[in-house]
Structure 1
């Protein structure tokens, strides 16, 4: 009998545990699609492998297999110390990545899988030079090369000091060049950038460098030189070039915003001869580094990623490959009927289309590259064929802000349908019926969804973010001239006539990142500037909007004290039951906020997540728009 009772008790316990698991709310990671962030800032080639570094990236080192140079293949993305701006070969089998906030020395014994040296005794001689003797940034970062026991150091006086570092703690000055700083070292040639242009020295004997050639701009060239991007192979010299970008999306010119590649015959270094050149067309570009193999030239473009050119016929240079790397995810719109999510970027921007049908296997389908900045809430047409986003750029001048319409009928090949230029800058869009409203105050007629029409009439308020709820528009304004922002509530009398129904002064400065509605309450996810902190602090504000004419602040939630999140700025989203709040760093939580006289009840919390700017969701599924990836989360309602 006792055994039977014990068995029944155990069975009941299992059943209760199973029932609880099915009924209690939970939050878990599902799948992710990795897109990588940052700006392509430098290149180095080692045999059949190419290394590209991305500044301000979570995985800054990209490894390519270039055995077929016209078809570079990404082998892997690796983490590296700091935010590397350059990478250079500094000894046989050693790659150096460098920035002021971190250096890395990678062992290339297996060139397809560089290994970061962690043993303090390992690595090339350069690693053991005292950083108190030389400035890491900006000198090491931008104007220094090295090979084995010789250091070519760019000084603050725009000169090059050549040192013997065979004894790293006792560097010995060998020679000094006063006409420029080092940009590249290949075999026995050192390439300097100076006032006179590009200087080339033979440094076979580093104690006695010999000037062998010079490349100075001439009035015949329709470009200026970008000497930081230089490479040499056999009798060919490759140099980055720049000019004004004549036009972009109907506006321009943009100063020095178009870059390209020039090829010179240097069989006689004293008389380099221009053979041909090419431009990156129809987009902002910034070529930062070059490498070459068998007549193919690899270019790191900070505004795009990797570009590959066939220069074997220099009079007809062709781009033969391009690999999109970089940017930073910061905007989104969900297309629920098509099971697609469209993502935007705030650096070197592209717009990506992701298949989210399987939460555990989201797939990147295609992208459209525009090179501008997109932030916040995008929108879509009712049939989900067209996606709307505002893209802008402040520099180079004169700047640009436009409403873009993207046709995503073929998600693998999204195409630009139209651009409405000269719109007010905005970081949020709200689509209501056949009209689109921007936080910048513009109104667009969408009756022709592929050709939005900007109306002459504007909203009576503008701001940083906008949302729609119960025939009202909620516009949160920047805190610019004062320390306080403002929430404006606009009642839509007709789609083109809005009147201010109510206003609410917001208690803190900076900006509202996102908004969410739940049971006649509005939740504002906040970014508050705090002292000298690089990232703003977070805050969540709860506003009673039962009567839009008299909105009232009900509660303020500190992300650390009240929500168990990190203190960084917050993104908010809501379903019909819970408030979901994500912090920029690490955490996201699901909260019951139904009881007014107590703090939110955290019903689920996740930690150790990638940093994220934005958050969107649908029933029992969340999409965390991380800097370098889309992360899909699942949660269950009670």
Structure 2
């Protein structure tokens, strides 16, 4: 096998060189044949809701790992928060805080932002010498991450700094170049500063309230005793107002989609009587609630007008009415976050389904007018979905969802989308292999994980005892064969390599492996597209510790039992789509091959063959596109599935 791999590598390299030289020569001598036009867009905020802060009637929420990490809400009516803006902010902020009398601070280890709140509805990023003293203190003396990120507060000329020793150091930073240590709180690190009180979290208690009106002489006014409480308290999720203390709580989750129990992954909020803060304990607990049947990760809280606003990293923004602590209820929720990473199409109904790999939802998108795609409804399942989903009879959507942390589970979900505005869960089947691709052939669903399901009752797939003789990352079908691509299959020698397996399913429940083709070792995303006699693979090659580089591979499947690699192109160097770290994805409309890359480019190619080698002739290009994992298309349109948006691209001559 080793000798075969060496021969294949040499031949494929020669083939790729021949194809690229021919393609580049042709491209230089003629104008593009295709006009690719960016014509529509639907934005769905990506990331994880990690922190909230309030200034007057405006709420600010930061999204970690997001393209637009700062969200601005109007909360004059707490039960109907209105999203005003999605804004840029440096880095991937994990927290946001109000500093001084008009500044918003967003912070993470890879970037800080300071915003002027003169107009609270339109935060303005500051530059130059503008900003509070905190902006100008020495970042070598004071660590940005994790200290500033998670355990530091500031107001005007006072800095409350959480140290590596688990203490709070209080500094006068009126002269930010010469901070003066005023006092130390030895029992914990700062979490929240609001008015005269500083909430400190430490070993003695996750919530200690300190009066800091005189920063040089802070004194403890009370701490929450947690013994006897029916939940755990999260020290970062703390707020107070109107004589009450509000905290985020963590509890066990008895069941999620029929599996469980799962320890400490459910969350909610609790309310304590804080009129006498020295008595905070189970005896002053007024009420509490947990989100039912849900994974949640409530990180921070804000109180306003009888309501608690919570950043839930597993969902987005949640709003609780706490005016009656004995009957706390969620009264509003704004789904924000995730990352678009899965797709399927119902072409007759002009519906696009997109899934997410973070805090997952599946969105139903109307593409009747591709220039104005719009969300009709969504189903939130909390898990992650990658690759391709499958649609049966234009009504049932199948996707494999999993969660590796913290609880671990993998299941096949069936979603009934008869009413696209209210997609409903039809069934969940546990104990399935992790899969990132699936295809439906007649009444059978095949997954890249190797499972086979009978769809005689499409609402309730039945897993068959027989499996495919191989597994992989992605799967495609051309009668009567399944093609299963694995970017990192284990060899008998204990090495890893890519492999394409061909499975004959003329007898649907007796699949037979008929061929395997060695491929380069890869990483993560694989897409597949048939065009004429070839199968094209969008790959991310990885070797010798190098970062992923996008790769397109052409396989001749004229005789599927003897597949042959007849072309290989690196998209950066060979296809003139330069990117330092990239993944390639492919799609075809039956005439042209479309190659996209992770960061910004989409190219169209005519596919030719000469002397046994495949040539890719460039015929169109579109650049400056948003980052995306994959794409699909229908009826003369390409839909680029970006991390935070769907971009509609018109194919025209």
Alignment of 1:564 onto 2:576: yes
Which of 510, 526, 541 does residue 528 from structure 1 map onto?
Answer: 541
Match of 1:462 in 2: 471
Alignment of 1:250 onto 2:258: yes
The answer on whether the counterparts of 1:30 and 1:360 sit within 8 Å (CA) in structure 2 is yes
The answer on whether the counterparts of 1:477 and 1:511 sit within 8 Å (CA) in structure 2 is no
Encode CA deviations 1:411-443: one digit per residue, 9 max, x unaligned.
Answer: 111110111111000000111111100001110
Match of 2:355 in 1: 344
Alignment of 1:217 onto 2:226: yes
Alignment of 1:552 onto 2:590: no
SS in 1 for 2:326: helix
Match of 1:280 in 2: 291
| Worse-superposed segment, 174-183 or 252-261 | 252-261
- Displacement of 1:619 after TM fit? 3.8
The answer on whether the counterparts of 1:562 and 1:600 sit within 8 Å (CA) in structure 2 is no
Encode CA deviations 1:280-332: one digit per residue, 9 max, x unaligned.
Answer: 11111000110011110000000000000000000100100000000000001
Encode CA deviations 1:188-224: one digit per residue, 9 max, x unaligned.
Answer: 1000110111211000000000011011211x22110
Alignment of 1:361 onto 2:372: yes
Match of 1:319 in 2: 330
The answer on whether the counterparts of 1:485 and 1:511 sit within 8 Å (CA) in structure 2 is no
SS in 2 for 1:485: strand
Encode CA deviations 1:243-293: one digit per residue, 9 max, x unaligned.
Answer: 121111111122311011010001111102110001111111000110011
The answer on whether the counterparts of 2:367 and 2:373 sit within 8 Å (CA) in structure 1 is yes
Paired residues, number: 612
The answer on whether the counterparts of 1:476 and 1:512 sit within 8 Å (CA) in structure 2 is no
SS in 2 for 1:138: helix
Alignment of 1:588 onto 2:602: yes
Alignment of 1:542 onto 2:541: no
The answer on whether the counterparts of 1:480 and 1:510 sit within 8 Å (CA) in structure 2 is no
The answer on whether the counterparts of 1:477 and 1:487 sit within 8 Å (CA) in structure 2 is yes
Cα distance in 2 for partners of 1:576, 1:105 equals 50
Which of 566, 579, 602 does residue 618 from structure 2 map onto?
Answer: 602
Match of 1:45 in 2: 54
Match of 2:35 in 1: 26
Cα distance in 1 for partners of 2:324, 2:543 equals 56
The answer on whether the counterparts of 2:521 and 2:543 sit within 8 Å (CA) in structure 1 is no
Alignment of 1:142 onto 2:141: no
Cα distance in 1 for partners of 2:533, 2:509 equals 25
Match of 1:231 in 2: 239
SS in 2 for 1:609: coil
Alignment of 1:497 onto 2:513: no
| Worse-superposed segment, 23-32 or 295-304 | 23-32
Encode CA deviations 1:387-421: one digit per residue, 9 max, x unaligned.
Answer: 11000001112x11111011111111111011111
Cα distance in 1 for partners of 2:439, 2:456 equals 15
Cα distance in 1 for partners of 2:297, 2:319 equals 14
Which of 160, 168, 172 does residue 164 from structure 1 map onto?
Answer: 172
Cα distance in 2 for partners of 1:484, 1:619 equals 37
SS in 1 for 2:84: strand
TM-score scaled by length of structure 1: 0.94
Q: How does 1:322-471 map to 2 (within 5 A)?
A: 322-382=333-393, 384-397=394-407, 399-471=408-480
The answer on whether the counterparts of 1:330 and 1:375 sit within 8 Å (CA) in structure 2 is yes
Cα distance in 2 for partners of 1:507, 1:177 equals 57
| Worse-superposed segment, 613-622 or 316-325 | 613-622
Match of 2:267 in 1: 259
- Displacement of 1:529 after TM fit? 3.2
The answer on whether the counterparts of 1:200 and 1:212 sit within 8 Å (CA) in structure 2 is yes
Encode CA deviations 1:573-592: one digit per residue, 9 max, x unaligned.
Answer: 11221110100000011111
Cα distance in 1 for partners of 2:533, 2:514 equals 16
Match of 2:640 in 1: 624
The answer on whether the counterparts of 1:255 and 1:396 sit within 8 Å (CA) in structure 2 is no
Match of 2:519 in 1: 506
- Displacement of 1:471 after TM fit? 1.1
Alignment of 1:240 onto 2:256: no
Cα distance in 2 for partners of 1:211, 1:619 equals 67
| Worse-superposed segment, 488-497 or 202-211 | 488-497
- Displacement of 1:531 after TM fit? 6.1
The answer on whether the counterparts of 2:51 and 2:95 sit within 8 Å (CA) in structure 1 is yes
Query: Which structure's relative contact order is higher, taking Cα pairs within 8 Å and 6+ residues apart?
Result: 2
Cα distance in 2 for partners of 1:216, 1:527 equals 52
TM-score scaled by length of structure 2: 0.92
Q: Which runs of 5+ in 1 are unaligned?
A: 1-19
- Displacement of 1:234 after TM fit? 2.4
SS in 2 for 1:509: coil
Match of 2:20 in 1: none
SS in 1 for 2:520: coil
Encode CA deviations 1:452-490: one digit per residue, 9 max, x unaligned.
Answer: 111111111111111111210011124154231211100
- Displacement of 1:562 after TM fit? 2.0
Match of 1:89 in 2: 98
Cα distance in 1 for partners of 2:571, 2:470 equals 29
- Displacement of 1:532 after TM fit? 6.0
Q: Which runs of 5+ in 2 are unaligned?
A: 1-29
Cα distance in 1 for partners of 2:530, 2:622 equals 22
Cα distance in 2 for partners of 1:266, 1:530 equals 59
Distance 1:530-1:261 versus aligned 2 partners, 3 A rule:
farther
Cα RMSD after superposing both structures: 1.4
The answer on whether the counterparts of 2:541 and 2:548 sit within 8 Å (CA) in structure 1 is yes
Cα distance in 1 for partners of 2:412, 2:533 equals 31
Distance 1:101-1:511 versus aligned 2 partners, 3 A rule:
closer
Encode CA deviations 1:314-372: one digit per residue, 9 max, x unaligned.
Answer: 01001000000000000010110000101000000000000001111111111000000
Which of 60, 83, 87 does residue 74 from structure 1 map onto?
Answer: 83
The answer on whether the counterparts of 1:344 and 1:350 sit within 8 Å (CA) in structure 2 is yes
- Displacement of 1:566 after TM fit? 3.3
Match of 1:184 in 2: 192
Encode CA deviations 1:129-168: one digit per residue, 9 max, x unaligned.
Answer: 1111110000000000000000000000011000000000
